[in-house]
Amino acid sequence: MNNVWQATEARANFATLLDRAATEPQVVRRSGEEYVVLRRVDYEASVPTLKEFLLGGGLRPSLPIADETIDRIFQRDSESSVMTPRDVHMDSNAPS
């Protein structure tokens, strides 16, 4: 079963798209971008709770965040691969 749809095909067969998303994520392509359709319960299961986030040492690799965004927020320890938060300056005059 193919789980990749063009936007016009997804729009015309929206009920079928949702039915298939109940069993596996569906990809919709529009103007060169890809979007994922999945059940809310599946999405929420893939996102850590605040407690899991804090106790787990940070972001899970499965989160859809670009590496450059992660690098702006966290610094990586090259020896242990541990990611720790960077200092964040809320003052617009502070160096970034």
* 14-57 pLDDT tens trace: 999 999 999 999 999 999 999 999 998 888 888 777 887 777 76
Number of domains in the chain: 2
Of the two residues 92 and 20, the one the predictor is more confident about is 20
Q: What is the pLDDT of residue 42?
A: 87
Confidence of residue 8 (pLDDT cuts 50, 70, 90): very high
Is the pLDDT at 90 greater than 90? The verdict is: no
DSSP 26-60: EEEEETTEEEEE--HHHHHHHS--HHHHHHTTS--
Count of Cβ atoms closer than 10 Å to residue 31 Cβ: 5
pLDDT in tens, 57-81: 665 555 555 566 656 666 666 666 6
DSSP for residue 91:
S
Count of Cβ atoms closer than 10 Å to residue 34 Cβ: 9
Domain extent for 38: 4-44
Q: Is residue 86 part of a domain?
A: no
Q: Say whether both 54 and 31 belong to one domain.
A: no
Spatial contact of 59 and 70, defined as CB atoms under 8 Å apart:
yes
Please tell me whether the overall predicted TM-score, pTM, comes out greater than 0.75 for this model: no
Least Cα distance to 25 among 40, 14, 37 occurs for 37
Q: Say whether both 12 and 27 belong to one domain.
A: yes
Q: What is the pLDDT of residue 65?
A: 55
Amino acid at 57: G
